[in-house]
Amino acid sequence: MFKESKVHISQHSQVIVDTGYQGLKRLHDKSLMPKKRSKKHSLAKADKRSNQQLASQRVLSEHIIGMLKRFKILAERYRNRRKRFGLRFNLIAGIYNYELLC
């Protein structure tokens, strides 16, 4: 889906993703992804620590994505006009930012 979306990521930026983006390493050199264990081999302690560090960096964006899913703009199929999607998305993000300030 990422390839089909045609999203452009600058080569200078670092991307932290989960294991759902396994092929991204071939497309973007600066992508960071947690290591997975195999059925026969468990992870080393250093790999577990690096996975925990990545998870602690990703948790902020995961909370924001969860909030957007509560507004149902990302959780379900968007059935309104596509022209207004960006406007509604920005309004919901503004409401969330306002809640953070209060």
- Measured from the Cβ of residue 9, the count of other Cβ atoms closer than 10 Å reads 14
Using one digit for the tens of pLDDT, what is the confidence trace for 47-90?
999 999 999 988 888 888 888 788 777 777 777 777 788 888 88
Which pLDDT does position 44 carry in this prediction? 92
pTM: 0.64
Which pLDDT does position 101 carry in this prediction? 84
- What is the identity of the amino acid at 35? K
Q: Are the C-beta atoms of residues 19 and 36 closer than 8 Å to each other?
A: yes
Q: In whole angstroms, what is the distance from residue 3 CA to residue 54 CA?
A: 23
